[in-house]
Amino acid sequence: MATITPPSDAEEIDGLGELALPDWFVHMDKMAGVGFLTIAKRLPSLVAQAVRMAWQASPRDTLATVVLSLLGGVFTAFGLLATTGVLQALFAEGPTPDRVRAALPSLILVGIAATIRTSLTAGAGWAQSRLDPQVSRIAEERLYGVTSRVDLVAFDDPEFHDALQRARTRGVSTADSVVGLAIDVLTGAIGILAAAGVLGLLHPVLLPLLVLAVLPDAWAAVRSARMRYTTMYALIPAHRRKWIIGELLAERSPAAEVRSFTMRDFLLGMYDAVARAEQRILIRLAGRQTVARLVGEALSGIGTAAVYVALGLLLAVGAVPLAVAGTAVLAIRSGQSSLANLLYATNRLYEEGLYFTDFLAFCEQADARVGAPRTAAAPDTFERISAEHVTFTYPGADSPALRDVSVHIRSGEVIALVGENGSGKTTLAKILSGLYEPDEGTVRWDDLDLAQVEPHDLRGRIAVIAQDHTRWPLTAKHNITMGTDKGEPVLLGAAEVAGADEVIAELPNGYRTLLDRRFKDGKELSGGQWQRIAVARGFHREAALLICDEPTAALDARAEHALFEQIRRHADGRTVLLITHRLASVRYADRIYVLDHGRVTEQGTHDDLMAVDGIYADLYTLQADAYSA
Ligand SMILES: Nc1ncnc2c1ncn2[C@@H]1O[C@H](COP(=O)(O)OP(=O)(O)OP(=O)(O)O)[C@@H](O)[C@H]1O
Ligand SMILES: [Mg+2]
């Protein structure tokens, strides 16, 4: 077992908060139980999984690879046996021309076997290299298929991120090499079987000697692969941290703040601390791997010598004739070269296989994070949405973000959620939109509990203008339609409501302008312009329920007024849940809920709440005074 100790000079990284913690090494105990036997036992299942994946990618190419490799092995054995015939004829008594003539038929057979074998190997290689890109595609599609399906809450879980990082940075790219290596292992094994079969036929004692010659190498190879993997596994969190800092140093969006806050030295220092700790561990690993390899090779050299000594002895005592001994040398060399290939492939298969297993494990784990299929279809509309006694805690959080919250929304109403930063408004909106499931309590559309409704269906009925909306690196049109096509009038209508039409009118290619400066001809928008696009996106969805989470935070006064007017009039019968700090615009809401530390503390119309003289009245007066002063 590779032993890894946390960097002794952890103090060096002191002052860098979590970077100083040697918690990168927490995974080591998980690996402590992995021994040689475990690996030997795991290989067949790895090969099976790889072959299954290859089969899924292309049954024809998989079959071609395996069958052609098998036939190649058969012809190797056949060629070796034919060689015995050649040698027997050459070593027989009699004049040389006669001996050569007698050897001729066997010689022709050897030639034919070699030609066929070469063609088969080439065919197998071709089929195998056709498999690679097909397997890669399948693996990548599987990965992104599950990452986009898991419940949103998974993304709040650091363990999920670790597993995702392992699968994404290393795991997924190993799929094709694992398949290739599994086939190499099969081919190598077939080659050895062929050589071993021939050796066994020649003299049984040669067989165990051959095994002896290569076993130490196998041990060294597996040991070194294991050391490398355990180290890499332990280093993943450090890698991730390094990667995150790297992004901050090299990405466009933080580039301005890195400069304006003169953060270069701070960030580079952090990067260096992690990189140095990692470098020390990797250099130590290289040393240990070299020792393991040297020991293995020395032992296997002794083994090979033993094989040839044994062969010499057998020859000396007359146990095998010269022709047989000659063939045995050839068979041993062919077997050894197959074994060398097999070992190389096994070694790499084991190492890559560990990453591949990470990929498979991640997919399995991610599948488990996809909610069980629900039977009920989401209703098209509702008379009343009611959240009852909803409690919700983010994974790993100490206290709930929502406690015993109950709210009601009737069709056609405008409902406002207000409250200070961190009071739980966005969280409640995410629960009402089916993005998170409450830990306790229920959300119902009329009598239907959303816990029974297929979330994908439900989300189709709801539009969310998110507080932290994404700036999609797509065209202006796709930033609004989000892959749906409802025709030009809907698109133009939504853009107009949000004031996005003015923004788009100024773009060089109108709706077809790419909104990402990282690409050629891409354009960047201002914060408020982006928000108009995000609002248009919400309206374009034409959903039964429209949730607006701070839709105007970045809008100018005119755009804000226009949007609130639109929401207030909601002439199209839309139901709106409005979250905003601009209290002047919630005056007209049918009902206002005030959240405080995850609880609903006040509710009612503007007039009700002003009469209560609580948090709402406080905040409202504060804002109103600021304007009237
Ligand atoms: N993904 C998350 N993981 C863990 N905790 C979270 C997460 N998102 C929010 N929180 C916590 O939950 C609480 C409620 O956050 P929420 O975003 O709902 O507040 P909010 O009322 O929308 O605030 P704001 O007015 O600033 O938008 C906060 O204490 C916040 O720290
Ligand atoms: Mg919020």
Spatial distance between the Cα atoms of 269 and 14, rounded to a whole number of angstroms: 11
Residue 399 beta carbon below 6 angstroms from any ligand 1 atom: no
Listed ranges 190-194, 294-298, 432-436; the one with the highest mean pLDDT: 432-436
Residue 156 beta carbon below 6 angstroms from any ligand 1 atom: yes
**SS3 of residue 376 by DSSP:** strand
Percent of the residues in the chain that have a pLDDT greater than 90, as a whole number: 33
Residue 184: closest CA among 352, 62, 347, 345: 345
pLDDT (average), residues 384-393: 95
Return the pLDDT at 468.
Answer: 87
Atom of ligand 1 minimally distant from the CA of 419: 21
Order the strands of the 440-445 sheet from edge to edge: 402-410, 384-392, 440-445, 448-449
Neighbours of ion ligand 2 (CB under 5 A): 425-426, 467
Pick the CATH number of 11-368 from 1.20.1560.10, 3.30.70.260, 3.90.1150.10, 2.40.110.10: 1.20.1560.10
pLDDT band for position 577 (50/70/90)? very high
Return the pLDDT at 449.
Answer: 92
Is pLDDT of 115 > 90? yes
pLDDT band for position 463 (50/70/90)? very high
pLDDT (average), residues 132-145: 92
Closest C-alpha to ligand 1, atom 6: 394
| Range 102-105 contact pairs with CB under 8 angstroms and sequence separation of 24 or more | none
Q: How many other CB atoms are there within 10 angstroms of residue 465's CB atom?
A: 25
CATH 3.40.50.300 fits 379-461+547-559+579-629, yes or no: yes
Residue 423 beta carbon below 6 angstroms from any ligand 1 atom: yes
Spatial distance between the Cα atoms of 235 and 233, rounded to a whole number of angstroms: 5
pLDDT (average), residues 214-226: 73
pLDDT (average), residues 376-388: 90
CATH topology of domain 465-542: Rossmann fold (3.40.50)
Compare 608 and 208 and report the one with higher pLDDT: 608
pLDDT (average), residues 404-430: 94
Ligand number nearest to the C-alpha of 427:
1
Atom of ligand 1 minimally distant from the CA of 425: 21
pLDDT (average), residues 475-484: 92
Atom of ligand 1 minimally distant from the CA of 394: 4
Angstrom distances, CA of residue 84 to CA of 1, 79, 91, 104, 325: 46, 9, 10, 12, 9
The rounded mean pLDDT for the chain is 84
Ligand number nearest to the C-alpha of 392:
1
Ligand number nearest to the C-alpha of 403:
1
pLDDT (average), residues 560-579: 80
Return the pLDDT at 21.
Answer: 38
Return the pLDDT at 31.
Answer: 47
Residue 566 beta carbon below 6 angstroms from any ligand 1 atom: no
Return the pLDDT at 485.
Answer: 87
10-65 pLDDT, tens per residue? 334 444 444 443 443 444 444 445 566 666 677 788 888 888 889 999 999 999 99
Domain residue ranges of the chain, discontinuous segments joined by +: 11-368, 379-461+547-559+579-629, 465-542
**SS3 of residue 240 by DSSP:** helix
Atom of ligand 1 minimally distant from the CA of 417: 21
119-129 pLDDT, tens per residue? 999 999 999 89
Spatial distance between the Cα atoms of 456 and 435, rounded to a whole number of angstroms: 10
Our CA angle for 71, 76, 82, nearest 5°, is 125
pLDDT (average), residues 584-597: 91
Atom of ligand 1 minimally distant from the CA of 429: 18
Burial of 79 (C-beta count, 10 Å sphere; 0-12/13-18/19+): buried
Residue 583 CA to ligand 2 center (angstroms) comes to 15
Question: Are both 11-368 and 465-542 of the same fold?
Answer: no
Residue 427 beta carbon below 6 angstroms from any ligand 1 atom: yes
Residue 580 beta carbon below 6 angstroms from any ligand 1 atom: no
Angstrom distances, CA of residue 444 to CA of 48, 53, 453, 499: 47, 42, 10, 34
Residue 425 beta carbon below 6 angstroms from any ligand 1 atom: yes
Is pLDDT of 185 > 90? no
pLDDT (average), residues 55-77: 90
